[in-house]
Structure 1
Amino acid sequence: MLQLPDAELHAKAVELGIITKDQDLPPSQRSRVAAVLLADRRAAEQPQAPAAPKCAREITVRGSEITVDGKPFPWLVARAPMEIGLNPDGSGTVRITLLADAVQILTPQPTTESE
């Protein structure tokens, strides 16, 4: 059986508003607080769904320096020609070549109609 430290149980009980910082956790509430702590741990261990892709607000290319929305692009870019497309409204696209130690291409899992 998993043992939870008293200090952790006490802190969670205060956070939940069951007791104040100066009170002791009643034995009748220990299992309730322990269940919340365990549920929090399980939720933290679950893989998070990737964030939905979003359109960059601004891409700046200055020599070999590339910034996306003011942040340095974190990957190495190959010394290959870039393709830059600009639209009259100022929007556009940038096609670059990323360097990688390995590349893996996976087929998406088929989805059923009930999903």
Structure 2
Amino acid sequence: MQQFTDAEIHAKAVDLGIIDAGQELPRQDRGRVVAVLMGQRRAAARPEPEPAAELRAATSIVIQPDGRIDVDGQPLPWLVAKEAIDVRVAPRPGDISTVRLTLLTHSVQIIKPEAESESAS
């Protein structure tokens, strides 16, 4: 279990507005403050998601006769279903083409955007 000093807990309680700076933290509120501190530590330890600016289109996709798929010269590390692969070639050189394929997975999780999940409740 993560340990927090009394000073850290007291400072966070003041920061949260549970008590004023000179007051004692009521025993029944201590757990709530520790939970907030633990959540902040966990959030700080999580890696930051890649910024959207770093997302990019593949330079090249090569579909081999044996079913292997190379993306930018590297083999795609996931299993692809033996279904038709839909390829749309751009009408002009330099435009973006698309490749649609089916990846096999044991689990799928769909996370709703915050605004959508709040309006649904």
TM-score (norm 2): 0.51
Which residue of 2 is the match for residue 50 of structure 1? Answer: 50
Q: Kindly, what percent of the aligned residue pairs are identical?
A: 39
Deviation digits for residues 57-110 of structure 1 (CA, Å, limit 9, x no counterpart): 111101201011101101100001010011131541110000000111111112
AA paired with 1:69? D
**Is the helix fraction higher in 1 or 2?**
2
Cα RMSD for the two superposed structures = 2.6
AA paired with 1:95? R
Which residue of 2 is the match for residue 103 of structure 1? Answer: 108
Deviation at 1:51, TM superposition (A): 4.5
Which residue of 2 is the match for residue 89 of structure 1? Answer: 93
AA paired with 1:48? E
**Is the strand fraction higher in 1 or 2?**
1
SS at structure 2 position matched to 1:110:
helix
- In 1, the alpha carbon distance for the partners of 2:87 and 2:50 equals 27
TM-score (norm 1): 0.53
- In 1, the alpha carbon distance for the partners of 2:79 and 2:51 equals 22
- Note the residue ranges of structure 1 that are not aligned, 5 or more in a row: 2-41
- Note the residue ranges of structure 2 that are not aligned, 5 or more in a row: 4-41, 117-121
Matched, 1:75 2:78: yes
